[in-house]
Structures are given as C-alpha cells and as structure tokens.
Amino acid sequence: MRKGDIIAKLKEQNLTGRGGAGFPTWLKWQAVREAKAEKKYIVCNAGEGEPKVFKDGFLLENYPEEIIEGIKIALKTIDNSSAFIYLRKDYYQRFKKNLEKLAKGFAITLFKKTGGYLAGEETVLLQAIEGKRLEPRLKPPFPTQVGLWGYPTLINNTETFYFVSQIAKDKYKKTRFFCVDGDVKNKGVFELPEDFSIERILKESNNLPDFDFFLQVGGGASGEILLPEELNQPVKGIGSILVFNQEKTDPFSLMEKWADFFLQENCDRCVPCREGVFRIKEMLKEKKIDKELLSDIFFVLEKTSLCPLGKGVSVPFKTLVDKLLK
C-alpha cells in the first residue's frame, strides 16, 4: 500500500474519529504527514475515563491485532514517526504483555496513564507523556502542528485505529461500537451500523426497556439526557448509551454524582469550571434548583472554560433539568 492510498481510503469512507469529537480522520492524518518536521509522533488514546464506558477495554481484549495493525499503518504513512499507546491503568496491567508482543519490531511504546478523567483529553495526554503537570493546553496550535515535545502528533482513539485496519483491508462496513449499560439485561459492547437510531440499537442488542425510563447518551458523566420519545436519532459522541429506570432514579442524587465527578476530575486551573461546578453542587445539596442562576452558570462554563471538561459540564445537568424537573 502506497503512503497516499490509506489517506485516500479514509477520505473515501468518511471515517471520523471515535473519541467523541467526530473529526474527519483523513484530515488529521494528512496534516501530520505533510507537516515539515524532523520527527513526528503517533498516539493511540486508550485512556478511557468516562464513567460507564468500556469500549476500549473490549477492543483491546478482542481485537488487539487490528489495533496494532492500524498503528503500524500510521507509522508507515507518516515519515520519521514513532508511536505511543496511552493506556488506562487497569488496561495497561491487563493488556501490556500481549500488546508488546504484537508491537515487537516497531517503534511503539506503551505508556501507563497518569491521572484521571481529564488525562484522557488529548492535550493533557501530551502533558502526561512529557511528564508535565496534568492540565490542558491552549489551542491553537493543535497537536497536528505542535504536539509531543513540540513535534507534529497524530492522536486517534483505539476504535479509530481498529477501523483504519479494516479500511486498509477493504472490510469496513460503516459500523461502529456502541456501549450499553445501566438498567438493562444485556450490558455490553455491540458493533452495529453507525447510522442506527438509538431505539434500533437498544432493540438489536435486546436492551429496549419495558418500563418507564430515560437515557444518558454520549458518556456516563458528560452525556445528554434523552426521553423515550427522542430515540429516533443516531448516537453521538463516544457511542455510549446508559439506561435509567425512571421510577427508581432520584434525579438529584444522579446530578450530585455528576457534580462530585466533575469536581474531582477537573484540573483546578480555570475558575469557570472549578467555581461553576462547586456552585452547582451547593445548589443540589439544598435540593432547590434556581433555573435562572443555573442558566448563568452554564453560559459561563460553555463560553469561558479552558477545555472540553468545563465546556461539557452543562450538557447533562441542563438536559435533565429541562426534561425531568419541569
């Protein structure tokens, strides 16, 4: 396979990143390949930190050869490059031996994730590998221009590298992996067509509830809340669906869990995120929602937070309050 061929195939198949942002994969690859630098880096991000999401672990256990093959294709496509596989701590323990065996002979290094949820964000990930403080970098410049140690860096999710290997072998069938958890009888990871609606995914995986329920889609902390009448749409973000039994779920307790998670996982660098989540937590303690004040807090978080953690905090709270606490 010539260097340009895989990028053309990625463009033709319209593969988008599976880490949440949905950015066209071929554009990232082309930007790093064409960058002028004496060395370049490739990072496979398996730092999965979103609660109730376990796709990376499923893929590393069941398809390690394909993931490594996707990384090898990147190494062959991008001159003067070497690679890191950035692994969540428990994944590092479970899969280190097998991944090292598969990567033997190639410039691929395994790196155990330091820190929590935020350390999975791409610029914090770079800080971690460089041994620096775990806080986000300002963008631009983007990692494709200035990444690891100042060199152009390609960062893709584990699932993205899996599908790169499938596209290279002409086996890609426009599918993706969906993670289903919560109040369901058949928890797991399911490979289904990427354009399936949420309702169809739940039916195909034998997980459509027969009780009053609501969903959190796109992550167990940052995902949005959807009601049963909103299921005729595809899954966005990282492809996760979390089902809640409405009768058994206290909305305030659920929101407190989110607030505790965001308070624990933020880096404390920017005031909007740190103080905004604290104010939300204080409001939840009183079990009194001031919608006007919440709206102001959400606006500040979305517009002024430094990284995606702060910008995404408002999504679960806003959608739950609007739909379940009318």
Q: How confident is the model at residue 118 (pLDDT cuts 50, 70, 90)?
A: confident
Query: Where is the domain boundary, 215, 248, 281?
Result: 248
Whether the CA torsion 167, 169, 174, 180 is positive or negative: it is negative
Beta strands in 161-253 (DSSP E): 175-182, 188-193, 213-217, 224-226, 240-245
One domain, residues 73 and 140: yes
Q: Report the share of the chain in percent with pLDDT over 70.
A: 98
Task: Tell me how far apart the alpha carbons of residues 291 and 321 are, in angstroms, rounded to a whole number.
Answer: 8
Location of structure tokens 């399936």: 196
Count of structural domains within the chain: 3
Beta strands in 115-234 (DSSP E): 153-157, 175-182, 188-193, 213-217, 224-226
Q: Quick one: pLDDT at residue 310?
A: 81
One domain, residues 152 and 7: yes
One domain, residues 139 and 51: yes
One domain, residues 187 and 258: no
One domain, residues 107 and 243: no
Q: Quick one: pLDDT at residue 256?
A: 94
pLDDT at 129 over 60: yes
The CATH number for 274's domain is 1.20.1440.230
pLDDT at 3 over 60: no
pLDDT at 20 over 70: no
Q: Quick one: pLDDT at residue 58?
A: 97
Q: Quick one: pLDDT at residue 320?
A: 96
One domain, residues 256 and 228: no
pLDDT at 22 over 80: no
pLDDT at 4 over 90: no
Query: Where is the domain boundary, 219, 248, 277?
Result: 248
pLDDT at 217 over 80: yes
One domain, residues 212 and 237: yes
CB 199 within 8 A of CB 229: no
pLDDT tens by residue, 91-102: 999 999 999 999
Which residue has better confidence, 219 or 110?
Answer: 110
The CATH number for 236's domain is 3.10.20.600
Which residue has better confidence, 159 or 306?
Answer: 159
One domain, residues 210 and 306: no
Which residue has better confidence, 100 or 309?
Answer: 100
Helix (H, G, I), strand (E, B) or coil at 75: helix
One domain, residues 35 and 129: yes
One domain, residues 161 and 48: yes
Task: Tell me how far apart the alpha carbons of residues 9 and 82 are, in angstroms, rounded to a whole number.
Answer: 22
pLDDT tens by residue, 162-208: 999 999 999 999 999 999 999 999 999 999 999 999 999 999 999 99
The CATH number for 108's domain is 3.40.50.11540
Q: Quick one: pLDDT at residue 190?
A: 98
- Domain extent, residue 303, equals 251-324
Pairing mode of beta strands 188-193, 81-87: unpaired
One domain, residues 41 and 150: yes
Q: Quick one: pLDDT at residue 191?
A: 97
One domain, residues 96 and 201: no
pLDDT tens by residue, 252-273: 999 999 999 988 888 777 888 8
b vs e for 222-257, b when ≥16 Cβ sit within 10 Å of the residue's Cβ?
Answer: bbbbbeeebbeeebebbbbbbbbeeeebebbebbbe
Q: Quick one: pLDDT at residue 273?
A: 84
Q: Which two tokens stand for residue 167?
A: 């596209």
Query: Where is the domain boundary, 133, 168, 203?
Result: 168
Q: Quick one: pLDDT at residue 240?
A: 95
Average pLDDT rounded to a whole number, residues 51-79: 96
